[in-house]
Structure 1
Amino acid sequence: MTESTVNTTKPSVFEAGLPVLHYDVTDTPQDIYPQFRDAQQAAPIALGPIGPEVLSYDLARTILRDPRFVVPTGIHLSAHGITSGPLWDRVTRSILNMEGEEHRRLRSLVSRAFTPRATARMHDTIHAVINELIDGVVDSGRCEFVADIARPYPIPVICALLGAPRENWRKFSLWAEDIFKIVSFDCNLAEEEPVVLKAWDEFDAYIDDMIAQRRQRLTDDLLSELIRIEDRGDRLDAAELRMLAFSILVAGTDTTRSQLAASMQVLCDHPDQWTLLRERPELAMRAVEETMRHSPSMCSTVRSAVDDAETGEYTFPAGSFIVVNTYAANRDAAIYDDPTRFDITRDDPPPILTFGGGVHYCLGANLARLELAEALKVLSQRLPRPRCVGTVPWKPLLGLSGPTSLSMEFAS
């Protein structure tokens, strides 16, 4: 047989003798990490309970940037058995589920409103919101951090970002609680669908009124900025503006809540790092990067192969679900020195993968970093010597993880 006739097809990930992960979908990241670490030493991929899991940093980054791997349409709804109907149609038409030319067009327009300079104008609002929440607990010397600080923190920031007045923040919070059932596994979504659609309709009607007002008089908020954006005559229409407001609410609320709680926990567990942040508040942004690397609330993202795709040493068959395990990748010893060490002074570490990559890199990453960094900076100045009280339960690895509660004491 000549060299030219040798079959060079790389083995399927399902037939390559890869390590196998044995965990339940309800297990937490901390429960499973020893398996990830051991598997990572044997291969860049392992076989998990829902499909191949990419564990190495380099391969995870490659797949996140490769257009042959797409976000599975309506994956959260499919998990609840919903594959059609009004909720399916609305969710799958959002920018969070888009692919191809329509997605590229919207991202090209919208990205201009999410630059670091644009999000920096939220600085004063962020400080006002976090300080007001701390005011409610600081004299008692204790708090339940998730309920008292992390949970109520993002909604006022998003409302101010969009331009909604303070008197309507409560409405947004109520709408969000119902709409977030879309990405929750704690409810029967098929039964809750009418509740979700009602809240979504009310939210859309409110945003439509805001759009009409802004078209008459533009102001200094994100909605006005999105209306101003134009590229060679291409502009966002009312339906796109409405959809983007919904996407910002969904993508920017629970993620920030969960990560703020996760970041607070790991800093409490490392009091030397808390003291360092208190003494050197300029380390706040590094603290965000390191807490999101070491203790992320978003631990993975799912992709599916459009066609048979050879990547690295393996072939991913068309249609296969792939878990890009960013939790493991962010602790890849080949990339990060002593990866389990928590150190907010890491010098110029490689970029974390927690915000995704490629065409689905988080549009709100700059705002999320600012929200987290400023919150941690203020907390470190106002809550001396915090410590966790009792155990800190976490949500499962798959989906959005993070502490479900975090009882804390601190010097008052």
Structure 2
Amino acid sequence: MSAISTAPSVFDAGLPTFDYGLTATPHDILENVREAQSCAPIAIGPFGPEILSYELSREILRDNRFRLPPGITLAAQGITSGPLFDKLANSLLGLDGAPHVRLRKLVSKAFTPRATARLQDTIHEVVNALVDRVADAGGCDVVTDLARPYPTPIMCALLGAPREDWHLFADWTEEVFKALNFQPDVNFDESAIMRAWGELDAYVDDMVAARRNDLTDDLLSELIRAESDGDRLNLDELRMLVAGFLMAGTDTTRNQLAASVQVLCEHPDQWTKLRDQPELAMQAVEESMRHSPAVSIVPRAATEDVEFGGYLFPAGTFVMVNTFAANRDPAIYDDADRFDISRRDVPPILTFGGGAHYCLGANLARRELAGALTVLTRRLSVPRRIGPAPWKSLLGMTGPTTLPIEFTAQPLVMSGA
């Protein structure tokens, strides 16, 4: 047993406090965060302690004493047990400890930069087709016309699903993702989610059965091939992982693409810079995810009494890691609120998480976003926002709900890109 802590309780240490409602967006809380951040690296927010500094945020995301509470999003819908809760708790996101380490080890053998690099042609084909649909109109809603339909074809191509079935995956992910939403939803229907998830599982079972005898060049085949010390993934695990990839790789990319396009539109000099220097695409992704991230809050709970950052966090304490604040920490980033895609020598953003649950698809997400932004800046000249672009709550997946823009379209030039 470790010595009894003499650190003050995080709740009794006189830390700065700030408040916000369930519908607050990242932009709504920025001023309050700045004020609290200037006083201390931790503050007491509306749901408990919030980690605001870059250094402590990075540290807590790697600290196994703080874990993601299983089924936390379902609890927001009033569901704390049952088949859907069990299914989510046993996903890669819900697992911890040895079972999680084992799965990550196997999956990482399949999820390599080389595997995602094969998607480059698909990425360009999908984005250009979406631009072609709106080019003549000279305007569009980035959210509904470009960002929403973009990731599903990429994920399907990655997995190896035939093009004629891509619409099925779009419907399934739309329904199942409701189980991952923090916001209470009046349209939440557990039986509809289970039905959609069941249909997805059955489809994946058929794909796995077909691949067993005829492995191809796609992620599902790589997962079937994956082996570590004689260990392989079983059918239940393959099924769970495919659903997890679809969930993790669809909504995040949709929301981040819309957020990234918005911040680039609002900084025309940066849009032009990326158009003229497409080699800055990856940096543009990092900077837009730092400045305007689709994921701003990472929940954790203390699994035991934990001394962290000079304070005692009692067992069960619910902690919000405010990665939005951490990514704008003035102690780390020069002129932290400035949006500049040519920033260099900066530490990695925390938007992809950290530690055991660091996003497995980070390479793919970066590649998808970089590919989309490269095409969009080349083909849409002088885009301008022409209406409000309200954001969703920072407590779930955030980003603009609508983003109307007008532009001058440039024709697609076939150039080997």
Which TM-score tier does this pair reach, normalised by the shorter chain?
Answer: over 0.9
Q: Match for residue 21 of structure 1?
A: 18
8 A contact 1:80–1:188 mirrored in 2: no
1:343 has 2:340 as partner: yes
Q: Match for residue 413 of structure 2?
A: none
Deviation for aligned residue 1:8? 5.7
8 A contact 2:23–2:393 mirrored in 1: yes
Give the whole-Å Cα distance in 2 for the aligned partners of 1:405 and 1:282: 29
Q: Which runs of 5+ in 2 are unaligned?
A: 410-417
Question: Equivalent residue of 1:409, what SS?
Answer: strand
Query: Which of 54, 57, 79 is the aligned partner of 1:57?
Result: 54
Deviation for aligned residue 1:187? 2.3
Q: Match for residue 43 of structure 1?
A: 40
Deviation for aligned residue 1:114? 1.7
Give the whole-Å Cα distance in 1 for the aligned partners of 2:345 and 2:282: 12
The within-5 A match list for 1:106-145 is: 106-145=103-142
8 A contact 1:60–1:329 mirrored in 2: yes
The within-5 A match list for 1:391-406 is: 391-406=388-403
1:80 has 2:62 as partner: no
Q: Match for residue 281 of structure 1?
A: 278
After superposition, the C-alpha distances for 1:67-112 in whole angstroms (9 at most, x for unaligned) are 1011101000111110111111111110011100000000011012
Q: Match for residue 222 of structure 2?
A: 225
8 A contact 2:77–2:185 mirrored in 1: no
Q: Which runs of 5+ in 1 are unaligned?
A: 1-5
After superposition, the C-alpha distances for 1:357-405 in whole angstroms (9 at most, x for unaligned) are 0000000000000000000001010001111112110001111110000
8 A contact 1:290–1:343 mirrored in 2: yes
Q: Give the AA of the match of 1:334.
A: A
The percent of aligned pairs where both chains have the same amino acid is: 62
After superposition, the C-alpha distances for 1:185-224 in whole angstroms (9 at most, x for unaligned) are 36236x5011001100000000000000000100000000
Q: Residues 389 and 186 from structure 1, CA distance in 2 versus in 1: closer, same or farther, beyond 3 angstroms? A: farther
Question: Equivalent residue of 1:404, what SS?
Answer: coil
Give the whole-Å Cα distance in 1 for the aligned partners of 2:297 and 2:60: 13
Q: Match for residue 185 of structure 2?
A: 187
Give the whole-Å Cα distance in 1 for the aligned partners of 2:333 and 2:388: 28
Give the whole-Å Cα distance in 2 for the aligned partners of 1:90 and 1:274: 42
8 A contact 1:73–1:97 mirrored in 2: yes
Question: Equivalent residue of 1:301, what SS?
Answer: strand
Give the whole-Å Cα distance in 2 for the aligned partners of 1:293 and 1:407: 23
Question: Equivalent residue of 2:319, what SS?
Answer: strand
Q: Give the AA of the match of 2:96.
A: E
Give the whole-Å Cα distance in 2 for the aligned partners of 1:8 and 1:218: 55
Give the whole-Å Cα distance in 1 for the aligned partners of 2:199 and 2:286: 36
Q: What is the aligned residue count?
A: 406
8 A contact 2:77–2:184 mirrored in 1: no
Question: Equivalent residue of 1:16, what SS?
Answer: coil
Q: Match for residue 3 of structure 1?
A: none
1:320 has 2:317 as partner: yes
Q: Match for residue 251 of structure 2?
A: 254
Give the whole-Å Cα distance in 1 for the aligned partners of 2:331 and 2:180: 33
Q: Could you tell which deviates more after superposition, 9-18 or 322-331?
A: 9-18
Query: Which of 288, 292, 302 is the aligned partner of 1:291?
Result: 288
Q: Give the AA of the match of 1:212.
A: A
Aligned Cα RMSD in Å? 1.1
After superposition, the C-alpha distances for 1:327-378 in whole angstroms (9 at most, x for unaligned) are 0000000100000000000012110000000000000000000000000001
Give the whole-Å Cα distance in 2 for the aligned partners of 1:8 and 1:93: 34
Q: Match for residue 364 of structure 1?
A: 361
Give the whole-Å Cα distance in 1 for the aligned partners of 2:206 and 2:256: 32
Give the whole-Å Cα distance in 2 for the aligned partners of 1:343 and 1:13: 36
Deviation for aligned residue 1:231? 1.1
Give the whole-Å Cα distance in 2 for the aligned partners of 1:52 and 1:73: 19
Give the whole-Å Cα distance in 2 for the aligned partners of 1:214 and 1:379: 36
Give the whole-Å Cα distance in 2 for the aligned partners of 1:76 and 1:328: 22
After superposition, the C-alpha distances for 1:150-169 in whole angstroms (9 at most, x for unaligned) are 00000000111110010001
8 A contact 2:127–2:372 mirrored in 1: yes
Q: Give the AA of the match of 1:16.
A: A
8 A contact 2:76–2:184 mirrored in 1: no
Query: Which of 368, 371, 375 is the aligned partner of 1:374?
Result: 371
